[in-house]
Amino acid sequence: MRRYLKLTCLVGIVLCIFLAIPLSVRAANLPPPGSSAYSVLGPPTVSAAFIDRVLTAYGSPAAGKGQALYDEGVAYGIDPVFALAFFMHESSFGTAGMARVTFSLGNLRCIPDAACVNGYAAFQSWESGFDAWYKLIRNVYAGSWGLTTVAAIIPRYAPASDHNNESAYIAAVESSVDAWRSQQIGVQGTGPSSTGSTTGSSAPSGTPYYPPDGYKILGKPTISVQFIEQVLTAYHSPAVGHGQALYDDALKYGIDPAYALAFFMHDSIFGTVGLARVTHALNAIPTPVSATCHCQALNGYRQYDTWEDGFSDWYSFINEQYIKHNLTTIGQIIPAYAHTQNSYAIASFIQAVEHRVDVWRSAQAGTTQPHTT
C-alpha cells in the first residue's frame, strides 16, 4: 500500500512539473502541425555549386545558372532543391519538350507578363523563367492556397485531369530531393548523360564531337519485347504495355528497337516529362501533320491517339528523313535530328543514346540491371 501511495505521489509530482512548464516552451519542442520534409518553404538544403554540378551532369542548357536558381529560391523563401526537382520532371532540365525554346523551369502555361508560345509562357532567359516559377509557388500555391508540400502542390500543379500521374510525379520529386540532399548527382531512373564516359565534360567548347560510326540503327533487335517492358515499367512509363508495338514497328523498318527506346528516354524519359505525356510521341515531331501519321496538331507538335501511332510515326520519320538519305548511324543522325546547333548539346545527345544502348545490350545479356544508369 505504501509503495502504491509513493508511486501515486511521484506521478503527481511529475505531472505538476509538466503542467508548470509554459505552454509556449512545450510547443517549441513539438513539430509544427502538418510539417513535412517535403515542404517547399525553407532555407536551401543544396548549394549553388551543387545545383550547377547537377545541371552540367545532365547536359542542361541552363548549366551555369545554378547561382541564379539558388538566389531566387532564397529571395522567395523556397528551398531551391524543389525548383531543381520540378525542372527535372517537367523537361529533364530544359533538354526535352517546350522548355527548349521557352526557358521555362516548370512548363508554365501562358501568363500576363510573359510571351505566349504554343500555349506556354516563354521567357527571355532562364533567370526570368526561374523567377516566374518561384513567384507562382510562393504567391499563389503557398500564399493564396496554403499549399506548401509536394504532396499538396502537385495535384493542383499537374492534375490527373490533364493526363498526369500525380502519385508518380510526387514520388519522382521527393526521390530527387532525397538524392540531392545526400549529395548524389544522379537520381534513380534518370542517369546523367555523362555517366560512363568523360567525353561530354571534356569536349572543348565549340568543338563538335562525332563518335565513330559504330552505332548503326539498322539491324536485328538486340533487346526483346520483355526487356522493353521491363525498362518501361522500371521508369513508370505511361507506355507500359506497349512494348510489343515498339518492337514490331522496329522489325518493319529494319531498325534495332534499342535505339528507339534510347531516343524515347532522352526526349521525355519514356513519356513521363514534357508534352509527350499528352501527345503519345516517342519524340516530339513538329507539325505539319502528314497524311500517314494518324495524328493531329497540338501546340505545334504532332499528337497521337495511342502510343502505337506515336511509335509508328517516329520510325517512319526516321526512315524518310535519315535512312533514305544514307544517314544510318547515331553520329550521323543526331546532328541533324537535334533541335539545337550547340555542339556540346549534340555531343551529349549522341553520348547519352550510345551509352544507353550499350547498357541495355549488356543488361539483356544478363550482366547489368535494365534500369542501370
Closest Cα to residue 314, out of 342, 286, 336?
A: 286
The predicted pLDDT at position 216 comes to: 93
CA distance 304 to 313: 9
Decide which of 126 and 164 is more confident.
126
As a whole number, mean pLDDT of residues 315-319 equals 94
pLDDT in tens, 353-367: 888 899 999 998 875
Closest Cα to residue 269, out of 305, 306, 232?
A: 232
What's the one-letter identity of residue 267?
D
The predicted pLDDT at position 141 comes to: 96
The predicted pLDDT at position 214 comes to: 81
Question: What value does the CA radius of gyration of the chain take, rounded to a whole number of Å?
Answer: 25
338, 156 contact by CB (below 8 A): no
Q: At what angle do helices 243-253 and 307-321 cross, to 10 degrees?
A: 20
Does the pTM surpass 0.75? The reply is: no
- Of the listed ranges 109-113, 341-345, 349-353, 367-371, the least confidently predicted one is 367-371
pLDDT in tens, 227-253: 999 999 988 899 999 999 999 999 999
Name the grid cell of 59: 547536359
The predicted pLDDT at position 341 comes to: 60
pLDDT in tens, 129-180: 999 999 999 999 999 999 999 999 999 998 888 777 788 788 888 888 988 9
77, 110, 135, 148, 296 from 113: Cα distances, Å: 22, 9, 12, 24, 30
The answer, yes or no, to whether residue 39 has pLDDT greater than 90, is yes
As a whole number, mean pLDDT of residues 288-304 equals 85
pLDDT in tens, 251-260: 999 999 999 9
Name the grid cell of 235: 521508369
The predicted pLDDT at position 315 comes to: 95
The predicted pLDDT at position 355 comes to: 86
